[in-house]
Amino acid sequence: MPRKLARQTTQTSSSSGLSLQNVVPPSLADASQPLPRLIVFDLDYTLWPFWVDTHVTPPLKPNAQHTAAADRFGEEYAFYADVPSILQALPQLPATPATADENDATTHYSSAGGGGGGVKLGVASRTCAPALARELLKMLHLTPPLLPDDGEQQQQQKTPPRRRAVDVFDAGLEIYPTSKIKHFEALQKRTGVRFEDMLFFDDEARNRDTETLGVTMWLVRDGVTWDEVEKGVVEWRRRRGYKAN
């Protein structure tokens, strides 16, 4: 039976910038604990609560805040509530440095436009409407979280500029009907990041086949939340042999 659109869990137009320390779980903000170098997200029922190739009927029109977009029939589509802050905060967290045997991969990654110190983000989706998915990622904008040293007065005086959701996925967008294995092979080739340094969030158990590559997959049932991100990172650390402090 097709899933129903879960409107009650989506981002609202009142979303605003929050400080990093207010949104990021302590275990993820702990600089002594490692983080994946690349975190990859599925789209449907992972970042947003619908199938973009089934529920959405173009053309799309964003609202004034670019926090949602309406389709031909006036139905509004947006991210799950935690997703905007997740997509903005993760790249500001330091990823695990490359090990000595990854020098070639790191060089490749830098030449591909990555290689920075923060966690990299990517998308792996087998939707049959890739153009529509990309269009929606361009229409939905994110409000950056405020940096820890932003004072209260500065927060009141300056509203952080929004950015398109599509622009945070610096590792690339693999959006087309195929095996998720092929998506990850493309991401690995582009970034040079080892599969073992990747964490994948998806709502379908069948996509655990990506773990044959060395990827850690965390299954989400009701969309990505900060709690799910934390659980996924904990599992990634466990598989890599890291122990919590």
Tell me, yes or no, if 42 is annotated catalytic. Answer: yes
Residue 195 corresponds to which tokens in the numbers above? 């599969």
For 8, other C-beta atoms within 10 Å of its C-beta total 7
The bridge status of strand 38-41 relative to strand 198-202 is parallel
* Dihedral of alpha carbons 72, 73, 76, 77, sign: negative
80 touches 223 (CB < 8 A):
yes
3-state SS of 4-17? Answer: CCCHHHECCCCCCC
Q: Residue 73 in 3-state DSSP?
A: coil
Active-site position among 44, 170, 197, 203:
44
Query: Is 202 among the catalytic positions?
Result: no
202 beta partners = 219
- Classified as helix, coil or strand, 146 is strand
Q: Given the structure tokens 């302590």, which residue do they identify? A: 26
Angle subtended at Cα 138 by Cα 135 and Cα 144, rounded to the nearest 5 degrees: 155
Of 30, 42, 197, 209, catalytic: 42
Quote the strand ranges of 43-125, DSSP E: 61-62, 69-70, 76-77, 120-125
Active site residues: 42, 44
